[in-house]
A and B are shown apart, each in its own frame.
Chain A
Amino acid sequence: MELNDGNLQTLTEYLQKTLIPDPAVRRPAEKFLESVEGNQNYPILLLTVLEKSQDEVIRVCAAVTFKNYIKRNWRIVEDEPNKISDPDRTAIKANIVNLMLTSPEQIQKQLSDAISIIGREDFPQKWPDLLTEMVTRFQSGDFHIINGVLRTAHSLFKRYRHEFKSNELWSEIKLVLDTFAQPLTELFKATIDLCQTHATDVNALKVLFSSLTLISKLFYSLNFQDLPEFFEDNMETWMTNFHNLLTLDNKLLQTDDEEEAGLLELLKSQICDNAALYAQKYDEEFQPYLPRFVTAIWNLLVTTGQEVKYDLLVSNAIQFLASVCERPHYKHLFEDQNVLTSICEKVIVPNMEFRSADEEAFEDNAEEYIIRDLEGSDIDTRRRAACDLVRGLCKFFEGPVTGIFSGYVNSMLTEYAKNPGVNWKHKDAAIYLVTSLASKAQTQKHGITQANELVNLCEFFVNHILVDLKSPNVNEFPVLKADAIKYVMTFRSQLPKEQLLEAVPLLVAHLQTESIVQHTYAAHSLERLFTMRGANNATLITPAEMAPFTEQLLNNLFKALAIPGSSENEYIMKAIMRSFSLLQDAIVPYIPTLIGQLTHKLLLVSKNPSKPHFNHYLFESLCLSIRITCKANRDTVGSFEEALFPVFTEILQNDVQEFVPYVFQVMSLLLEIHTSSIPSSYMALFPHLLQPALWERTGNIPPLVRLLQAYLEKGATTIASTAADKIPGLLGVFQKLIASKANDHQGFYLLNSIVEQMPPDSITQYRKQIFILLFQRLQSSKTTKFVKSFLVFINLYCVKYGAIALQEIFDGIQPKMFGMVVEKIIIPEVQKVSGQVEKKICAVGITKILTECPAMMDTEYTKLWTPLLQALIGLFELPEDDSIPDDEHFIDIEDTPGYQTAFSQLAFAGKKEHDPIGDAVNNPKILLAQSLHKLSTACPGRVPSMLSTSLPAEALQFLQGYLQAATVQLV
């Protein structure tokens, strides 16, 4: 590609076309440009267009195209061709800085990005003169150019803030410091002088202040890794000026905008960050300056307004104080009672106030308000920063701070009492203050777990919280009501049970309030209270204690779902689920009505599922309704099917992806309740469950496997007789699952059910293939999880079909295969098997191999007999896994594995563990003793001799114990 007018013209035309919205024109143009970008001179042509074109739009387009070209091609990847010719690289580096600096801002930003991409690869070794070229521009006196340089430098240097220390990195920083630090310092001083010269010229000031902000950012990057010698020597210059800038105000730079931070705020925020960096890392050197900064930042806080635009500055400034005040050697700066009082009064209290912005959010954007207030996504807010400062101060001054705040709380409450209608915000602040002062440790699950002992939480509850909850007009002062409800929730672990019980009916009443925040908080508080545990791990609040309020609770919860704005309120739905779970049998009379409402809700949300948590709890509530009702009376399962199947059919037919896994789980639950054979409605669905498309979604796999297991449990004979042609498809699912390391255990669940449930004849022809597949997987990628499942399966097979069948099928696949599996897999790996049922299956299977398989006695496999017996004894004597107690009630959504993934397991659709051996063998040790006895009588003398020659004494001792327990002897 030559640099000529023709090519420039062509390029311009194609660039033009890339701006046309019609894809039919745009796409080919983009394709064309990409197809020619490998040619030499292409980037130079782009830069020429960028420089020379008369059309502003084309220039910007060329700049963007250039930047993207650089992004795609500049990096040289090892073993891949160099995508940009060396002459082009040299030419780009020679021209780009100048071009960037002389371009209008929009283009400048693109080129600046391109420079930093190039810089990331080439700087400093392959672009040695970049820095000097940039530094020279500082002298230009043109702040448009200077800001361009600063911006580029910022994008080049900002990685110093997060990369690990390395010699390479530090050499680069050293080089940068050597060329850049001094000129930057000069520029900093000169810029500050110019600010004085131009103190009345607003436009000049704006440019200068953006320079100062960039310079401050560069300072942060250059000082991040360690304190450079240069900056230590010049600390006086920098810190004095930073300090002055913090205290500076200029009417001209104040903005009218209430939301957007202005230049002054941005600069001061950065300076707070710089001071915090020095205070944290370069303590010793910064010590002389620190008190000045504390004072300046504190004054800044006292004089800064409540507008949103100051939020970042204020929260940075408070965070600075919070980090300094908990350092032991700065403690003296805060020690004085007057200082503490004034920090509390002028910094903390004002920033805890409920602002009009909060009020707006409370009324108009409840969801965001709740997320911020309840779930702690308030990292950058003033209230959060103020809370952190309270905690920081409490480290050394808990007593005095609590004392000061108690005074404030009292006076604010007095103010409120004088005229609640006007002064309600005072009480809000008082409650907030008490909360932040009292909370020392907190979790989602338990609320506050450690409280400041100097705060009397119960007294405050009785005197100030209960009053609001009891107020007959529930819709009055919604913010205070929400505060009161939140107080109950936050301090639930600290309040005595009687007080919680007193609060429960009041909370139930608040479910009906108009304010979304208020009734959401009520639902959430009840939900949290219902999860609390009392003695014996039972729920703290019992169904009996709830009896007087049950009807109203259920009514109000469902009514709350009808309040505008709360139709898919996850907190309410979760409270419904939790109430069902708590109340158990007590809800049965209400279910006929409630199931209709739930189904109706399900139908509505399935049109457009948008609230995953709401939907999850909805399905959980359905499961609970089914379980609780059918526990009392199995026959009611039909009525649930009648109510639910129409909606389920619709969900499956419309393939509502979010809901399909849930539907399979509920269906499994329903099918498992059936006692007689499988209903035909289920059989009709069977072929559809084998469709590969369904199995492609990972979220479907666990619930589908579970559902197929339920089909096999209830309908194996039906499948064998009426759907035998589907068996290969069913096994195909097994094969698909076994191929995946993530899902192989699911494949084994299915396979175990097939072997256990299907009539043997129906699968005879497939058995060998099944084992070959398992062996292939074992050969190609043997993982512990796979081996564990494999061991359980072959032992289950042995239990079901006998040890001889197992040995014959293995040896039929490959001679000596059985011995290899025993030696290489069973003996070394069987101890890894976990789970009581799994261990029992293995124990019974191995016992059969030992005692019912002639090949183990009479062939070369005989040498494996004693090691296998030893492995079995090892399996017995390993400490058993404790079975998990049945406290499903407490399972929280966060606790259920895999919620984050596509599969959403329903805790209340849970399946009881299945034991295929069951009561047939109660004690596998006794079974072993009896089986050995039987074997020894069949071939007298051989068993004792094998034992005495090679079984270790310890194992032998255990074995003798089993024999004694079974009262048998070996002969």
Chain B
Amino acid sequence: MPTENLCDKRMSKFKNKGKEPTKMRDRRIAECVELRKAHKVESIMKRRNISSVGDEEPLSPCENTDNKQVISETIQEIVANVNGDCPEKQRQGCQAARKLLSRERNPPLKEIIEAGLLTRFVEFLGRNDDPTLQFEAAWSLTNVASGTSWHTQQVVEHGAVPAFIALLASPMLNISEQAVWALGNIAGDGPSYRDGLIDCGVIPALLARLTPDAPVGYLRNLTWTLSNLCRNKNPFPRFSAVQQMLPSIIQLLHHSDKSILSDACWAISYLTDGPNERIDVVIKTGILPRLVELLGFEELTVVTPALRSIGNIVSGSDLQTQAAIDAGVLSALPQLMRHPKSSVQKEAAWAVSNIAAGPCQQIQQLITCGLLAPLVDLLRNGDFKTQREAVWAVTNYTSGGTVDQVVHLVKCGALEAILNLLQAKDTKTVLVILDAINNVFLAAEKLGEVDKLCLLVEEVGGLDRIEFLQNHENNAIYRAAQALIEKYFSEDGDDQCLTTEATDSNFVFGASDLQKRFDF
């Protein structure tokens, strides 16, 4: 989840001279433990097919019950039908299984697997002579693969992958679509299955179906599956695969359907969520202006991944950030910083924080494009997660900005706003704020206006809060607060080297030994 583990590697290159880069922003840590629920706005890794086909009869009671015994009896019947030789019975059994697996609640994935049905279903995928059977089997397997990793693993280990890839070429659109879907679920499981699919040649097979006459519904599934093939790190999908998919994804980004746009954007966001070489590949496609355009869309489902992609890109190198700036991202951001959804505000603030971590020319562009006012608004009124990002923006800005730029930010009210946030119940945020305060003091030192700044900090109640932090349980916080107090609101320091002999009444004057050569 890119936003949570924000680590700006640019830090180490040119900012925060003399500071441990790890002390600054820890973004993009490879794996990250999460306590929260998965993000609701993220695109879904796996999807189950529960849409009932139009001409279906309503579900029979047994298909809608949680009664274990009823289910077990149904499954036994399915097993008998499927394992038999009668095509009619096979179709019936397969359909019954598909219906069970398409229930809204508690589909018996495990029970179906344990009943040993997967071997037969995979076998049925190859039955070109019986499209109905193929379709029902593909649907059932799609839904099994939509479960946990273990469920997906069962599908893969029963050899479904080559069979599904073959089915992509099916003349029956509904069967091909089901295969696209199943492959999407498998790809979404993680990097190893994703790469397995790529090894099996899934990409050319998918791209072959990307034709102008393909219906929108089909294209939606296809786009989603492509996006899952771009997804996940450790390792990233290999470059050649990305190169293969990119032109089509770019093409899809110009589609008019919102759902396709959304998944294509998610694909871009995955591709940009990596080292700078990965970001470069995307930038070179010339897609930046279109991404910026998408930032202005109404639909949250499009804006969210587009913003995520932009956020990823501006966390890249200075040149990459500049490319985004040149594409006009700075005129799109203020509106997003004032977006009614706080999740969008947060992502926008994150992007700003990364631009603020750039050289002072880019910081200057933040000023010119009027981003400081909305930034200060977010510091004051954003929800906590947004405020946290905005605080990072201030710290990055103050550590890389010129004295004049820092003064400008303070005049916009940022200092007062971050001082208020010293009460935040988040240790890291507090530390980051203390860092920003220190940066502002360094600027004031250069201007000889430390006293004035001290008064300002005191006036807005900041001194009280910093003093209060000297009692913080966290050592880093208490030390940082104490350092500020000692340096700017009082004074001292000490260290010893050579020694001098002394008697009761005098020190003994004279150099101790004959010195070795002096060399300075």
Contacts and interface: CB of A to CB of B under 8 A. Distances in A.
Interface string B380-405: 01011000000000000000000000
A814 interface: yes
Interface in B32-68: 32-37
A520 to B, nearest CB: 22
27 contacts: A162-B427, A162-B472, A167-B31, A177-B35, A225-B35, A227-B36, A280-B425, A379-B464, A442-B458, A692-B504, A692-B505, A692-B507, A731-B509, A735-B500, A735-B510, A739-B499, A741-B496, A742-B493, A769-B509, A769-B510, A775-B515, A776-B518, A777-B497, A780-B497, A780-B498, A814-B518, A820-B520
A165 B428 contact: yes
Contacts of B519: 779, 820
Interface in A156-170: 159, 161-165, 167, 170
Nearest to A395: B380
A280 B426 CA distance: 10
B22 to A, nearest CB: 11
Interface string A763-789: 000100100110111111110000000
Given A281-B384, A777-B498, 13 more contacts: A161-B473, A164-B427, A164-B474, A165-B428, A173-B35, A280-B425, A445-B455, A692-B502, A692-B504, A739-B497, A769-B510, A773-B511, A894-B490
Interface in A737-777: 738-742, 766, 769, 772-773, 775-777
Given A227-B35, A328-B381, A740-B495, A900 B490 contact: yes
Given A779-B518, A894-B490, A739 B500 contact: yes
Closest 4 CB pairs of A and B: A732-B507, A739-B498, A729-B506, A692-B502
Given A162-B472, A162-B474, A778 B520 contact: yes
Contact of B509 (A177, A327, A728): A728
Contacts of A820: 518-520
Interface extent on A, as a size class?
35 or more
B520 A735 contact: no
Contact of A901 (B492, B497, B509): B492
Given A825-B520, A898-B491, A900-B491, A443 B458 contact: yes
Contacts of A773: 498, 511
Interface of A: 159, 161-165, 167, 170-171, 173-174, 177, 224-229, 232-233, 276-277, 280-284, 323, 327-328, 376, 379, 441-446, 449-450, 687, 690-693, 695, 698, 726, 728-729, 731-736, 738-742, 766, 769, 772-773, 775-782, 813-814, 817, 820-821, 824-825, 894, 897-901
Contacts of A283: 342, 383-384
A282 B455 CA distance: 34
A735 B490 contact: no
Contacts of B214: none
Nearest to B514: A772
Contact of A769 (B424, B497, B511): B511
Interface in B449-469: 455, 458-460, 464, 468
B410 to A, nearest CB: 15
A174 B32 contact: no
A170 B32 CA distance: 9
Contacts of A766: 509
Given A778-B520, A780-B497, A327 B381 contact: yes
B36 A778 contact: no
Interface residues of B, number: 58
Contact of A772 (B35, B381, B472, B515): B515
Nearest to A696: B502
A98 B517 CA distance: 69
Interface of B: 29, 31-37, 342, 381, 383-384, 423-428, 431, 455, 458-460, 464, 468, 472-474, 476-477, 486, 489-500, 502-511, 515, 517-520
A718 to B, nearest CB: 19
Contacts of A443: 455, 458-459
B312 to A, nearest CB: 21
A441 B384 CA distance: 25
B498 A170 contact: no
Given A224-B425, A227-B36, A690-B506, A698 B494 contact: yes
Contacts of B520: 778-779, 782, 820-821, 824-825
A283 B385 CA distance: 9
A732 B35 contact: no
Contacts of B518: 775-776, 778-779, 813-814, 817, 820
A692 B35 CA distance: 61
B460 A738 contact: no
Contact of A281 (B425, B459, B460, B474): B425
Given A281-B426, A327-B381, A164 B460 contact: no
Contacts of A776: 498, 511, 515, 518
B468 A379 contact: yes
A638 B81 CA distance: 122
Contacts of A163: 427, 474
Contacts of A726: 506
Contacts of B511: 769, 772-773, 776
A351 to B, nearest CB: 19
Contacts of B383: 283-284
Contacts of B472: 162
A159 B519 CA distance: 51
Which of B428, B464, B505 has the most C-beta atoms of chain A within 10 angstroms of its own C-beta?
A: B505
Contacts of A901: 491-492
B459 A728 contact: no
Contacts of A772: 511, 515
A367 to B, nearest CB: 20
B36 A226 contact: yes
A733 B507 contact: yes
A124 B131 CA distance: 55
A773 B497 CA distance: 12
Contacts of A731: 509
Contacts of A449: 455, 459
A516 B518 CA distance: 65
A323 B491 CA distance: 34
Contacts of A170: 32-35
Interface centre among A167, A695, A735, A740 (most CB of B within 10 A): A735
Nearest to B38: A229
A742 B494 CA distance: 5
Nearest to B491: A897
Contact of A736 (B33, B342, B500): B500
B35 A174 contact: yes
B42 to A, nearest CB: 15
A444 B34 CA distance: 45
Given A167-B31, A232-B37, A742 B504 contact: no
Nearest to A726: B506
A505 to B, nearest CB: 30
A228 B506 contact: no
Nearest to B494: A742
A728 B506 contact: yes
Nearest to A283: B383
B431 A736 contact: no
A451 to B, nearest CB: 12
A476 to B, nearest CB: 35
Nearest to B511: A772
Nearest to B517: A814
A441 B456 CA distance: 9
Contacts of B342: 283-284
Contacts of B515: 772, 775-776, 779
A174 B33 contact: yes
Given A163-B474, A814-B518, A232 B459 contact: no
Nearest to A446: B455
A645 to B, nearest CB: 23
Given A732-B509, A820-B518, A740 B384 contact: no
A18 to B, nearest CB: 32
A332 to B, nearest CB: 14
Given A443-B455, A692-B506, A739-B497, A232 B36 contact: yes
